[in-house]
Structure 1
Amino acid sequence: MVNGQTVLAPVLYLANEYHKPVGANINANTIDIKVENKLSNMGSISAKDKMILNAGSIENIKGKISANLIDMTATNDILTRSQTAFGSV
């Protein structure tokens, strides 16, 4: 109530589109990423065909990894705490 009058408060409904990861987006036909230490993904890494990820450790936190064929190699750990990797792994 404002000055004794009932007022309407707007309600904002957000589509799922607004709940996307906040990280970077990498998109290409083929992706080949080599990292000496830790590869951390909080965004989207998407390849149309093949993706190669090679690192000391790989973390996919609230991110998306997708490709037709995915090759993930880590000296230590591969950790996924969000959307899973999509494609042939």
Structure 2
Amino acid sequence: MNNKVAIGSEALPALAELLRQPAVSQVFVLADANTSRLCYPLLRFYLPEAHSLIEIPAGEEAKTLDSCEAVWSELTEQRADRFAVLVNLGVEW
């Protein structure tokens, strides 16, 4: 893997290249209800076909330890290992 930072129009193709590396075992996308609806469709083209979306509720009130536990449980259920990548979607309103 490389340590380059990509910004702007190069960011998504760079992400796609990174996720195709043999060292990546699985790809997970973490999104809330808003970013799942607004951002995920734009990102999906750049993700491997075999990826998993983990969706949590939107809003500050959903940023709890219970939400963290739900994400952790989902990763455990899907047998995420240390070579898995978690892509976190976020947007500033």
Task: Give TM class, smaller chain.
Answer: under 0.3
**TM-score using structure 2 length:** 0.25
**Structure of greater Rg:** 1
The alignment's TM-score, normalised by the length of structure 1, stands at 0.25
Bigger relative CO (Cα 8 Å, ≥ 6 apart): 2
